[in-house]
Structure 1
């Protein structure tokens, strides 16, 4: 490894004995390093065996993996304003997730509350894809946000985006028959136009027809996002229709993001396993966390990542799909995240042996022999203990051996002031 790189002599925290992963070219995965974090909350130096200093807090990570801070591209965190949203504190840093993107809980008519009461107070980075329907998901699936043309106000939506570009990073539309009814593909067309006018990506939820998924795919531009890409619903999944699979492959090659968006009804092991076996990996891994799946079948991002690992995705691809690829999709810096001067936003996790059976959205079980276990979230010089919601909810305990047989007895949360 190259000599330690340094940006500033000032320091407030030293992370020892970390194994970096998914930071991109230039930093081999798995080589143990130390990371010095400056008083400004940015990386000050990176390298093996960095010297400490009297009184400098240090955390020995004991060989745990250190990745860019986990990022969830599809959540619902407008707590109290919609009937499905969860609290940021339930699914954020406490589970290792440092960036949460709310996917359409708010529309232009109620976005001010999302900003003031959810995004701004959070210690995590909370961003939004603004719902093309003005009311958002106030009464999700009980009162559609897309009843007819009166549900959309293009002028107000564009004005809302313009006033909140720091946290609105795209436009969301649910192009599914249970939402749009006979209106079909029209809302998706309008949302695509608004996203284009705003210079932002479109996130489109696909599911039951109408519209047909083919109609939606024809609207997508590079940078747009298909969420629920591996759903198993009849008439619109990429396993049952070879032409649809080919379209998905072509879209990804053109730069369209294929996002998992697990949810309570939108992720099929059968579809995912077949796609991965044939070389079609999701671009991003997300949860679609809300009230109806927080206690299963989703729980948190670590378990969705673990499911994709069990289906055949390599570990580096899994972690990249829940970190750098998400950041790129929402216009955040996604390169050089461990270089001196970069903000210190990291997740510390272990890959442990497991004996765990978890369901998909079709209620089919998958046996996991390994799982990712979040340990710490690092925000500047703040160290936050993290754990899986599955464990908190009384699920099977984590194995006490790391994958490969190495004992997991370090519990990397001890702070040493030597």
Structure 2
């Protein structure tokens, strides 16, 4: 038998890119995937017993904010992502054309985690902007910062790392809504010029979700292009994808998906509602991409990490194979990296995640502290990045009551919500 670096043995190997779902082994040698199969006849210097576990391509978080110290939202991707089984993160607009060099030099090149990014249409990115809900002032208050040429040029010069364009559509960060249509238009213009996806944040926005007869304004997601990514899919604020009169998903949203617009969770501190997600689950309106929108304001609740967001989708009824696809092959394909990451194909860098699905009884909160009792739970067990095994860590406290009390304050802003307020607002 051949002796190689590592063999992960006996787990349920799920690799949607290669249509693999077997009880088998994954072999790693010299930082690359060596082979995948049942009963591999190889010996590893390291032999890892994965019986009873899932073995998947390294998880990809399609939406984080990891420009640590340079932006208010930045987290450390190695501490908060790689140690939770995530081998690749896609920063969603923390940097713009004028601040991108720092993201490359100080974060991407110094992290064990692979760091890719969407470039913000605003030149300074999120250098001084916090979250949009109820926080007046933001990166798009002045249109002279939204320069199509500089955004395009920096993207073209850094295609190894920049995978698309980011725009945030919220009234309070775009001169009380006056600039939102132009933010949207300019971001999509760069996307078209560079032939990359535009990721659009659309909450508490003056940009309509559903078009109306005679209204010539751009709508979101209706006017997005095939391959563009609509984030914060399950939020319950104004601009929700739910028609308040019928309780159904807006027709324009359904049509956008039909034409090829992709939908991403973008859980975030404010943008995941159990109530909205359950309404969408009834129609099997699952996300194409499961991303966390992990940042400094939600890393200790309500997001915690990618496995916890995956847990919520599994609880809602999203099939396991689809959940794994949404954190591997789907994301890789959406950002134009389908041949490089998101699979266990022979010869690719050996990014591998091992997880257990544990039987558990635990409350999990949404972004405004509504809770549901989940009975299955993704727990990271081991992770390899470029063939090197890294330590796994766990959140300190779930649910985090301090975070729940803080996040419940946005309950009155929700248009779609449970009949009763969260228990933390009732003194329970």
Q: TM-score, normalising length from structure 2?
A: 0.85
Provide the residue aligned with 2:7 in structure 1.
14
Shift in CA distance, 295/121, structure 1 to aligned 2, threshold 3 Å: same
User: How far apart in 2 are the matches of 1:272 and 1:12?
Assistant: 43
SS in structure 1 at match of 2:220: helix
Shift of 1:384: 1.7
Structure 1 residue 395 corresponds to structure 2 residue 398: yes
Shift of 1:282: 1.0
Provide the residue aligned with 1:69 in structure 2.
58
Provide the residue aligned with 2:29 in structure 1.
38
Provide the residue aligned with 1:289 in structure 2.
294
User: How far apart in 2 are the matches of 1:197 and 1:26?
Assistant: 34
Do the aligned residues in 1 keep the contact of 2:15 with 2:343 (CA within 8 Å)? no
Shift of 1:143: 4.4
Q: TM-score, normalising length from structure 1?
A: 0.87
Deviations 1:384-415 (A, max 9, x none): 232332xxx1337xxxxxxxxxxxxxxxxxxx
User: How far apart in 1 are the matches of 2:239 and 2:108?
Assistant: 37
Deviations 1:7-60 (A, max 9, x none): xx6721111112112434542x2x321222122x2222222222344x722111
User: How far apart in 2 are the matches of 1:240 and 1:315?
Assistant: 30
Provide the residue aligned with 1:217 in structure 2.
221
User: How far apart in 2 are the matches of 1:346 and 1:235?
Assistant: 37
User: How far apart in 2 are the matches of 1:216 and 1:338?
Assistant: 35
Deviations 1:264-310 (A, max 9, x none): 11111111111111121111111111111111111101111101111
Do the aligned residues in 2 keep the contact of 1:104 with 1:172 (CA within 8 Å)? yes
Provide the residue aligned with 2:16 in structure 1.
23
Query: What does residue range 192-341 of structure 1 map to in structure 2 within 5 Å?
Result: 192-214=188-210, 215-240=219-244, 245-333=250-338, 337-341=343-347
Do the aligned residues in 2 keep the contact of 1:64 with 1:349 (CA within 8 Å)? yes
The alignment covers a number of residue pairs equal to: 383
Structure 2 spans left out of the alignment, 5+ residues: 131-135, 211-218, 400-428
User: How far apart in 1 are the matches of 2:38 and 2:249?
Assistant: 48
Provide the residue aligned with 1:349 in structure 2.
355
User: How far apart in 2 are the matches of 1:75 and 1:281?
Assistant: 20
User: How far apart in 2 are the matches of 1:190 and 1:47?
Assistant: 47
Shift in CA distance, 208/366, structure 1 to aligned 2, threshold 3 Å: same
SS in structure 2 at match of 1:57: strand
User: How far apart in 1 are the matches of 2:13 and 2:225?
Assistant: 33
Shift in CA distance, 200/276, structure 1 to aligned 2, threshold 3 Å: same
Regions of 4+ moved over 6 Å: none
Do the aligned residues in 2 keep the contact of 1:171 with 1:202 (CA within 8 Å)? yes
Provide the residue aligned with 1:107 in structure 2.
96
Q: 2:84 aligns with which of 63, 75, 95?
A: 95
Shift in CA distance, 247/22, structure 1 to aligned 2, threshold 3 Å: farther
User: How far apart in 2 are the matches of 1:179 and 1:78?
Assistant: 19
Shift of 1:319: 1.5
Do the aligned residues in 2 keep the contact of 1:225 with 1:258 (CA within 8 Å)? yes
Shift in CA distance, 166/232, structure 1 to aligned 2, threshold 3 Å: same
Provide the residue aligned with 1:157 in structure 2.
151
Shift in CA distance, 207/105, structure 1 to aligned 2, threshold 3 Å: same
Do the aligned residues in 1 keep the contact of 2:3 with 2:42 (CA within 8 Å)? no
Do the aligned residues in 2 keep the contact of 1:277 with 1:312 (CA within 8 Å)? no
Aligned CA-pair RMSD: 2.1
